[in-house]
Structures are given as structure tokens and as C-alpha cells.
Amino acid sequence: MSYGQTRALKGATFAVDEGELFGLIGPDGAGKTTLIRILASLLVPSGGSATMCGADVVRDYQAIRQMVGYMPGRFSLYQDLTVRENLEFFASVFGTTVEQNYRLIEDIYKMLEPFANRPAGKLSGGMKQKLALSCALIHKPKVLLLDEPTTGVDAVSRKEFWTMLRKLKNEGITMLVSTPYMDEAAQCDRIALIQNGDILQIVSPKQIVDSYAYDLFGIESKRPNAVIKALRADSRFQSSFLFGHEVHLSVEMRSIAVDAVERYLLENGIETIAVRRISPTIEDCFMSLMEHNNAIG
Amino acid sequence: MKRSNNSIWGFIRKEFFHIFRDKKTLLLIFGLPVAQLLLFGFVVTNEIKDAKIAVFDQSKDYLSLQLVNKLVSSGYFILSDNLSNASQIDEVLKAGKAQLVVSIQPNFAAEFQKQGVASVQLNADASEPNTASILTAYASAIISDFAAENSGMPQQTLVSVQSRMLYNPDLKSVFMFVPGTMALILMLITAMMTSISIAREKEMGTMEVLLVSPLKPWQIVLGKVFPYIGLGFANALLIIILGYFVFMLPMRGSMVLLLLVTLLFIILALSLGILISTVSKTQQVAMFLSMFALLLPTILLSGFIFPIENMPVPLQWLSLIMPPRWFISALKTIMIKGEGLAFVYKEILVMLGMTIAFLSLSIKKFKIRL
Amino acid sequence: MDSSIVISVNKLVKKFGNFVANDNLTFEVGSGEIFGFLGANGAGKTTAIRILCGLLEPTSGDIIVAGFNGYTQRDKIKANIGYMSQKFSLYEDLTVWENIRLFAGIYGVSRKLIQERANLLIENLGLEDYRNRPVADLPLGWKQKLAFSVAMIHKPTIIFLDEPTGGVDPITRRRFWEMIYEAADAGTTVFVTTHYMDEAEYCNRISIMVDGKIVALDTPSALKAEYNAESMDEVFVKLARNSQRV
């Protein structure tokens, strides 16, 4: 897929199993939205093909539109219609009623119910997102395409949202979710890490962590910025980045020991609170893949 | 089919919610016709009152005196000068002492009675061409009226007279403005509002969701336009009622025919609105396109303000493709002349053709993808 | 008053009609501090930031920003702070150089200084090749760094960052925070909002707003200890879960 001169997606190849919760993880501009729009039959790929439940996204777009539930990246409901009216409208668009599939959205809608008569534009971010999900679900789609449903939403609402998705998985709905938040990857069955239009890797969250090719240290200190500067000055250290209350340092496997790191920092005038070996998070893995990708690309 | 009916009704209900929740726009939709009509009817009038005329009466018989009397007593003209020779015609016009000079041939009464034809020459100050044409039109109307009264043969008029004036014996400019305003308002409300409301869905991202639904383009379009057909029609009725009761506009022809023609025009304007929306991504673009592509031509080229007969020939041709031109013409024929279908079938066919052309073009251009 | 305090807010209340957006906020931010301002959607963060930036007048309470009064000297406040948000910061159709010149001009930097600082900024960011190209051509990460540097061009006392790293890849996000540390080390106070809870850990102190009130205000480690939590994420969820507001 390419826009003008920019190739938004370069030869993405992947398959999602029925009933799977599949994550597209990558930063803004990685090509997540383009990919989801192609699957939603909103864009035609410049090359290659895609099918969902046997329907080609270009040729059989009408079949696709019957079975897909789609939640675009930005809030796309009618702000001047109430919660209830939005839901009823989208039900009618799919030739169904709210009552018919109420069971599917019951859990989510219960949280919205107190505000049934409030215009959608006056809801908070978390509630808007719940309403958008309800509207995308109201026709009981086979496949749910969610484009960055948690962007700009606070941490609590994000957690609630993923709980809802896990429940929907039990209903047998196949889901493709994109997100820039690496920590959400752990919630998916499998994830595709995507950057600059390339799919870096398709793995399960556990596999990606297992295949991490470096030793990782967590360094806690009062001056994280100074730690980073000191570590970057020595080529023995692969990469070092801020990571929560620590600095994460990656080095070649078995190339250096904990106390050696401690000593090096002390030699550079930095006292550490704790230096320990840690297992990588998905974000660590993604960052190492990104760096690797940038180095060869 | 039940399924698509359900979708359409859901869509239409949603459109009505949008319209009735947006109180400002609603006020505009119904306040605008009233304001426009009053504005054009009372303020921006090109009606003639007390225009100065000079008379060069070379006959001075009973009939010529009667004619001059009739002109002056019409209320439109004041007699400023009686001229005694032809050279003065130029003088008074140049000096601005008169805007129009009426020259009556010698032996006016005798000629008229003998042959049924006599000549009256009108010289107008054409430095203001619009006023001049209106003045001569008014004067010719009065003169032909006079001729008809005195001979019983209206066909054989003394001077060539614009037919429009013939059927507007009171010479009220309101007769021109009411149909014109109606065309303008219907164009504004239906075409502009639909194009903006479709563009709004694109801008807000809701079109993206509609596209991914099983709704077909024609369902989206129909759902969008249906409410505006209703609004447009309500507006048309409001304007007709205002015209009838406030401006004493005659309703000589068939009301049913009038309403049918109006409905056709509304659908025509809507199809234009849809066409505009297919090429505009934002509400702003839709609005500007409607303004320049629809409103200005409606005002300038449809014969609403400037008579088509007075336009340069290329502009006259251009006016042929202006939808309001045909609507205004049909309206006048029905309301003022009181003619039936036989006299407006051409207008109806043209409008029908345009509607089909615009609609098929829009459905072709309507994108089923982003 | 302590001269190292650059933001001082005492019993700040902001009402919109009957709705209390900010309910009795009291806090201070010191010079060179990185202050994380967290809260759920709709908790009242945006309103508070607008007041601190001099865009809104509070309903009641005392407020001093960069030494100026939040009621009477709002223009002075605006001249002494920098502001950057993820949503809007630079004009995409203007070149890098034009953006710098525009914003420096808006903040009253003299013509000579603009040249000097712009060159330095472009050099520091390694943007020499992009100097005369539209900002739209820049990769997202660079755009954000440029936006940050432009917001700092008039050397403000305080810089407000409203979700500066939303949607950015994890490496760029961290590089951005390294810039924030640099600025703070140089004495600029950083007032930042974010939805990334790991970023909350990078702050010296953080406040958490729930339903218009500040319910927690301390260093990340003290808060984790107080709420018996492993990470800031847990602290936040424990606090914000009780929110009544939607």
C-alpha cells in the first residue's frame, strides 16, 4: 500500500486464526491504521491481497461489510445524538435492533446506562470508547477491527477495555487490535510488531520475551540521566534507556556481570541503589528489534 | 427489503435528530426565507415611482392627450416637460431633466382610428441601462394597455412590449422577486444543507463507519436527502403563503402543478448538493462550492434580478444551464400567467433531465471507500 | 515565599456553572523540578493547565506562576512559560526555520537572538538538512523534539508539556525524556501530563487528580510505598478506580 510516494505498508504478510485476539503493536506512522483500513475494505491495497473468513477485501467488500465491526482511530460517533440514539442508529444500519444482540454488549452497556440520554459528545474519553465499542458490536460481527481503541485514554479505562476484549474473545469473536502501548501486547494471543510499514515479527507475547537475545540489567539510581550518559560512553554496553524507575541496560549475552556494571558506574561517580538482572518486557524486545531494524535498514 | 427499509428509516430519523438539535441552523432555515422575501420585496425594489418624463406630442389631439394623461396618472411617471421640437429630446435627457421621452407622431388619433396602428417613440437615458429598460417596459405596458382599451385589439400594439410586463399589469417587481427568492432559498437550503451535512460526516469521521457498514451509497444518499425534501417543501409553502398574503401575488394557475414543479426543483437542487458533497472533503469546501457554484449564478444568471433578455448573448446561453432559470420561468407561468401543463412542460423536462444527470453523476462519483 | 518556588497554587477552585472542574487544588512546584500531573480523562487536568498557563481565570484561590498573579498578570505569565502539546505544536506547512522564527517572534525574542538560537537549535538537533523543508517532512520523533525545542526558544521559566509523547515509539519516547532531563538540569521547571505510567516514574514528584481533586502528591517511590504498589500504574489504578465522574 502506498500513498503518493510514501509506502505506508511494505509487503505485510500474516494470518489471524478464528477466535484469536491479535495485536498490531507499533508507534504512530507505523502503518497500523492503513492495514486495518485495508481489512475494513476502506482502502484498496497497491499490491497483494487480503481475505477475511474467505471474503476478499476488495472483490467481496459487501460481504466484508456485513461481518465486520469497525472502530476507527478517532471517535466517530454522532456527538449530537445521545448514547441510546447512537446505539439504536447503528443497530438499524445493520438491520437489527439493540434488543436482539443486547446480551453481547450487556456488560459494557451497563456502565453506560446511567448516561443513556447524554449526548455522546459530552462523555469522557473512557465512556466514549465504551460506547464506540458497543456500536461496533451491536450487529454481532464475526471480526472486530479496533484501531487504537486505547489511545488518549487513561490507564484505568485502558485496563477495563482489555478486560472487555478478553470477555468478547470467549464469545468467539476474532479481534484485531492496534495499539502504540507496548504493555498491552501481553493481553493478546499473538502480536505483530510493526514499524515503518514493516512487520518486524509475529509471535506470542511469551515467545518474544523468550527470544530476547541480550542480557538485561535494571539499574536504579537517583540520577538516571547521568547513568544513561555514562553507559553510552562505553561500547561494551549495547543500549541503555530510561525504564520506569530504572535504567534498562542491555549487553551481549554473558559478556558482563552485575558487579562490573556497578563498579563501572561508581568509577564514573554515580552511586546506584540497586543493579540487578531482569527479564525483558515486551517493550524491551520491541526496542531491541527496532534498533536492529534501523541498523540494517 | 425489510432490512433496507429499516436501515433507511433509522437513517432518516437520525438526520431529523441532527436537524432539530441544531437550533441555530433551524432558525436560519425558516427565518431566512422570511427575511429574504421582505428584504427583496420592500427594500431592494427596482420598482419605478415618480420617474421624470418629457412628452414630445406632435399631434396634440384628444387621443394623444388621453395617452399622456394615462401615463402620468399611473403614478410611475411625472411630466417634467412638454417639448416642442425633436432637438430638445437629446437636451432634456442629457441634462437629466427627464429619464424618458415619449414622442407621439403627428395625427395620432386619426392614424390610430384609420389603421389601428400609430407610432409612439420612447427615448430613454440608457446610462443606467437597467432603469432605462424598466422605464421603457413600464411605459410600453401602459401604452399597449391604452391601445387595447381604445381598439379592442390587444394584439396590434403600438410598440413592441416585453411579454413579462403584459401579464404583470400592476407592474409590481414583487412578481419577479417572489419566484426568484423562492428559487434562491430552495437552492440554499436544500443544496447547501445537504452538501454540508454529508461533508460533515466525512469531517467527523462518521462516514468511515457508515462505509464499513452494509449501507449502500443510495441508502446513505436517500437517508440524507429525504429530510431536506421535507424542509425545502415546508419552506416553499412558507414563501408562497407570504407571497400571497403579504405581497398579494396572484395564484392564477393550478396549485397542484405549482407544488409538483416546486418538488421537482427541490429534488434537482438536492441532486446538485449531493454532487457537490462528493467532491468536498470538508464542510468549508462544501459551503464555498455551494456559494460560488449555486448561489451567485442563481442570483445573477437566472433572470432573478437582471432580465435575461438584457444579458450579453454568451451569458444568455449560460443562463440556459442554470436550473433556477427554468424553475423561475415555470413558476411565473403558473402563478402569474395562470397557464397549465402545456406551457411549462419544457421547463419540467429540462429540470427532470438535469436531475437525472446530476444524480447519476453523483452516484457514479460517490466513493464506496476512503 | 521561597524564591525557588515557581508555581504556587493555594485552594484553587474553578467552576463552570454548577460543575466544579477544579476543587480546592493546593500544590507547589520548585525550580528545575519535573512535576508529573496525572489524572483520569475528565478529572480536570486540562482546566488546571489552562489556568496555570493564563488562558483561564480561576473562580477562587491564590495562584502564582513564574512570580506572576494568575488573575491580574495573565499576560506576563504567558510570556514566561513555554507550552507544547501532542495535538498542536508546529505548522506542518511551514519550514523548520520558519516555525522557529515564527514562535521566537511571538515570544518577543529579538531578531539577532533568533538567528543565534535558531542556528544552535538546528545544530543541536542535527536538523541542518531539514532547515528549509516543511515540518511535515520530518519523522514524528524529530517533530516532537523540534516542537519541544521551539517551545523552549524564549528560555521560559516553566515548560508545560501536555501528553508530549502520545503514540510515539518507545525509543523516541525515551530520547524525548532525556531532553526533558537536560532542560530540568539547566534549571527549567517541567510540568508534564502523560498517560504512560512508566513515564510517571521519571518525574521528581507527581500529583494524581481524581474528580477535580488532588488525591495524591509525592515522589513516585513514596507513593508506591504508601499504596503498597509495585509500579505507578498500580497506584494510579487504585486511586482512579473510585472516580465518580464520567
Q: What is the DSSP string of chain A?
A: -EETTEES---------TT-EEEEE--TTSSHHHHHHHHTTSS--SSS--EETTEETTTTHHHHHHHEEEE-SS--S-TTSBHHHHHHHHHHHTT--TTTTHHHHHHHHHHHGGGTTSBGGGS-HHHHHHHHHHHHHTT--SEEEESSTTTT--HHHHHHHHHHHHHHHHTT-EEEEEES-GGGGGGSSEEEEEETTEEEEEE-HHHHHHT--EEEEEEEES-HHHHHHHHHTSTTEEEEEEETTEEEEEEETTS--HHHHHHHHHHTT--EEEEEE-PPPHHHHHHHHHHHHHHH-
pLDDT of residue C59: 94
B129 band by pLDDT with thresholds 50, 70 and 90: low
**Chain C CB within 8 Å of residue A176 CB:** no
How large is the C-alpha radius of gyration of chain A?
Answer: 22
Does C169 contact A26 at a Cβ distance shorter than 8 Å? Answer: yes
Name subunits touching A (3+ CB pairs < 8 A): B, C
- The string of pLDDT tens digits covering residues A71-112 is 998 888 999 999 999 999 999 999 899 999 999 999 999 989
Chain C positions touching A196 (Cβ under 8 A) are none
Q: Who among A43, A68, A95 is closest to B6 (CB)?
A: A95
Other beta carbons less than 10 A from residue C226's beta carbon: 11
Q: Which residue of B has its CA nearest to A132?
A: B209
How large is the C-alpha radius of gyration of chain C?
Answer: 18
pLDDT of residue B162: 36
pLDDT of residue B161: 38
Using the predicted structure, report yes or no on whether residue B198 has a pLDDT greater than 60.
yes
pLDDT of residue B319: 86
- The string of pLDDT tens digits covering residues A178-218 is 998 888 888 999 999 888 888 888 999 999 889 899 999 99
Helical segments of chain B, H only: 2-21, 23-38, 62-73, 87-95, 108-115, 129-151, 163-166, 174-186, 193-204, 206-211, 217-245, 255-279, 283-290, 296-301, 313-320, 323-335, 341-365
Contacting A with CB below 8 Å, chain C residues are 39-43, 139-140, 163, 166-172, 174, 177-178, 181-182, 185, 195-198, 201-202, 220-221, 231-233, 236-237, 240-241, 243, 245-246
- CATH code for the structural domain at B51-150: 3.40.1710.10
Which of A123-137, B72-86, C201-215 shows the lowest mean pLDDT across its residues? B72-86
The shortest C-alpha distance from A139 to chain C (Å) reads 26
The shortest C-alpha distance from C213 to chain A (Å) reads 16
Domain limits of chain B? 16-44+172-369, 51-150
The shortest C-alpha distance from A110 to chain B (Å) reads 23
Q: Who among B14, B214, B215 is closest to A81 (CB)?
A: B14
Q: Which residue of B has its CA nearest to A137?
A: B213
pLDDT of residue B184: 85
Hey, what amino acid is at B147?
A: A
pLDDT of residue B130: 65
Q: Which residue of B has its CA nearest to A42?
A: B369
The shortest C-alpha distance from A53 to chain C (Å) reads 31
The shortest C-alpha distance from A296 to chain C (Å) reads 17
Hey, what amino acid is at B10?
A: G
Chains B and C, touching by 3 or more CB pairs within 8 angstroms:
no
Chain A positions touching B211 (Cβ under 8 A) are 42, 65
- The string of pLDDT tens digits covering residues B151-182 is 655 444 444 433 333 344 444 566 777 788 88
**Chain C CB within 8 Å of residue A155 CB:** yes
